[in-house]
Structure 1
Amino acid sequence: MLATGCAQLVPQTVALRTDWPEGVPRTTEMNTVPFFPQDDYQCGPAALATILSYSGVDITPQALVDEVFLPSRKGTLQIEMLAAPRRHGRVSYALMPSYSDMLREVAAGNPVIVLQDVGDMFTEWHYAVVVGFDYPSGTIYLRSGDRRRREVPFSYFEREWIKGGYWGMVVTAPDKIAATATEERWVSAVVAMARSAPNEAAQAAYAAALARWPDNIAAAVGLANEYHASGAYQLAVQVLRIAQHRHPDSPIVINNLAQVLFDQGRYNEALVTIEKVSDKQGPFAADIRSTRAMIEERLAQQKTGRRP
């Protein structure tokens, strides 16, 4: 009964004994991941600086304190951990609560921030960065606290990690997609990143997502919007033409295409385009009516010689 009870405490570690993730090596370690010893209660900024620096961002934990550290809580919330990298042109991706997914990311060269409870008697939340593992010896390697290489047994690591709901995240350059990314969750992560990231980074992230999932409407529209925002109207048109070919009845694609054509001064093309969905009902119906009215008003102004 004792063995069964212990197994129940670390179910994912037990599962790895017979179900090791396919394609993942038994041993790997990223020795070049930087290390920033944490100040008191500031494991969040230290962990973020670790993976942001590894992804190519020149930053220190001190530069991140004002962005993520909450003095009243003496720590950092997960939502702030995910938000901060986006402002630096990186994609933040929350992993599924899976030991296997964490191992896949590390094996792919992506350090993983994990949330642990490292308290002996009372809860003590802590962010650490997984940089490697060795299955034969059952060891996880972490950048943690004031230790550049903390070695923890697989089972002990799970006991610390499970209390935080197996929460973990990776940060990637905008043109790199996480190893365990799924289409819907990754595109959602890119959309969230684009709200605060520099335009060039958002373009790169959307382009990478669209290259991986060419039928994804959100990625196509997002990329076109970023091109449009930077004044690259013709690139926006090209992206939306391809999306229209793949999704000929999509009201959002056609509406946005008509808008970009309008902004190029191609009013007749814009009108022909928007007419394809003018009778559509649904959440974009008001946008379509507004776009069509704008185009028709401009064409009327042209006919009468009035200036817009």
Structure 2
Amino acid sequence: MPATSALRRARRFALAAAVFLLAGCSTLIPQTVALRTGWPAGVPLQLELAQVPFFPQGDYQCGPAALAMAMQFAGAPVRPELLVGEVWLPARRGSLQVEMLAAPRRHGLVGYRLEARYADLLRELAADHPVVVLQDVGLLLPEWHYAVVNGFDYASGTMLLRSGLQSRQEMPFSYFERTWRAGGYWAMVVTQPEDIPATATEARWLEALLGLARAGPNEAAVRGYRAALARWPDSLPAAVGLANQLHAGGALDEAAGVLRGALRRFPHSVVLINNLAQTLSDQGRNAEALALIDQAQDPQSPFAGEVRSTRRLIEERLR
């Protein structure tokens, strides 16, 4: 075979190999590649939340350290030592994501899990929310690690993290995605109840608030539901949640007002009719409550049992 022909074939092989490697690389970092042409709207090209505190992690305790950084930035005076008993599992020598999301509720904060999107992480940073991420930083075997992303620089393609013993770790976009992708792009932010994350959806935020309502102080849940109803005025679950929290706190007049406002939007809602009737009865307005509960007599409703129970209560009080 002539040398020139062999050289051409070698060049073609080298080109094909390069294309294959590039294609393989893009499958490893698909979201980094997408950022080149799809930088999220409204996100600056450079940002660093320098006010995020830094706590160097103890042995196997990156979870408490990362969570303490995010929670303290959100306004809770906590340190990693306080959180060890809440999120660290000695048998696993680490922290599970469910504990990481639950711990902020005990301190009147909301832990919100982000969608598995690079763009959402960047948008939260632009909204002044440092992001806790789960990474696999092992070289040969998996080594799971929590860190806090607190900035980025598009020009140099660099993510900024508070990680391990480093208060300012610089990591290329592509390498960060490789470590982050291994954990399913798991990420969370910690906020005050009235500070709804920039990327939150109605359903996911209300799910997070439900956890706060069950575990946290009533006042914090009220603030969260007020904020939810302000962002999503037509949200029936937000109105019901706010009214329930107000009722539980003894603010019956305000709870009734929220329910009446929601009924103007959803005049046939059995849940709203039932809850308003219950609230009116608790205020001693049983005749008015009985007239209202009669509007909810729908045997096919999944809440028919609750309606019957409320009606019996009203009738007993009238007697």
**TM value normalised by structure 1:** 0.96
Q: Return the alpha-carbon distance in structure 2 between the equivalents of residues 274 and 215 of structure 1.
A: 23
Q: Structure 1: which amino acid aligns with 2:95?
A: T
**Max Rg structure:** 2
Measure how far apart 1:279 and its partner are: 2.8
Would you say 1:110 and 2:108 are equivalent positions? no
Measure how far apart 1:280 and its partner are: 4.4
Measure how far apart 1:34 and its partner are: 0.3
> What does 1:83-98 correspond to in 2, within 5 Å?
83-98=102-117
Percent pairwise identity: 61
Deviations 1:215-258 (CA, angstroms, capped at 9, x unpaired):
11111111111111111110100000001111111111111111
Cross-structure match for 1:29: 48
Measure how far apart 1:6 and its partner are: 1.3
Cross-structure match for 2:291: 272
Q: Return the alpha-carbon distance in structure 2 between the equivalents of residues 273 and 280 of structure 1.
A: 16
Would you say 1:79 and 2:98 are equivalent positions? yes
Q: Return the alpha-carbon distance in structure 1 between the equivalents of residues 250 and 155 of structure 2.
A: 55
Moved over 6 A (4+): none
Q: Return the alpha-carbon distance in structure 1 between the equivalents of residues 215 and 40 of structure 2.
A: 35
Q: Structure 2: which 5+ runs fail to align?
A: 1-19
Q: 1:155 is matched with which residue: 174, 177, 192? A: 174
Deviations 1:87-113 (CA, angstroms, capped at 9, x unpaired):
111111110000000010011100000
Would you say 1:290 and 2:318 are equivalent positions? no
Q: Return the alpha-carbon distance in structure 2 between the equivalents of residues 145 and 68 of structure 1.
A: 17
Q: Return the alpha-carbon distance in structure 2 between the equivalents of residues 211 and 101 of structure 1.
A: 22
Q: Return the alpha-carbon distance in structure 1 between the equivalents of residues 212 and 121 of structure 2.
A: 21
Measure how far apart 1:152 and its partner are: 0.2
Measure how far apart 1:282 and its partner are: 2.2
Would you say 1:216 and 2:241 are equivalent positions? no
For 2:160, what is the secondary structure of its paired residue?
Answer: strand
Would you say 1:194 and 2:191 are equivalent positions? no
Tell whether the 8 Å contact from 1:142 to 1:151 is kept in structure 2 after alignment: yes
Deviations 1:121-144 (CA, angstroms, capped at 9, x unpaired):
110000000000000000000010
Q: 1:10 is matched with which residue: 18, 22, 29? A: 29
Would you say 1:47 and 2:97 are equivalent positions? no
Measure how far apart 1:24 and its partner are: 0.7
Q: How many residues align?
A: 300
Would you say 1:70 and 2:89 are equivalent positions? yes
Measure how far apart 1:178 and its partner are: 0.2
Cross-structure match for 1:100: 119
Cross-structure match for 2:194: 175
Deviations 1:198-220 (CA, angstroms, capped at 9, x unpaired):
11100000000001111111111
Tell whether the 8 Å contact from 1:251 to 1:280 is kept in structure 2 after alignment: no
Cross-structure match for 1:306: none
Deviations 1:126-168 (CA, angstroms, capped at 9, x unpaired):
0000000000000000010111010000000001000000000
Q: Return the alpha-carbon distance in structure 1 between the equivalents of residues 197 and 151 of structure 2.
A: 16
Q: Return the alpha-carbon distance in structure 2 between the equivalents of residues 281 and 266 of structure 1.
A: 27
For 1:51, what is the secondary structure of its paired residue?
Answer: helix
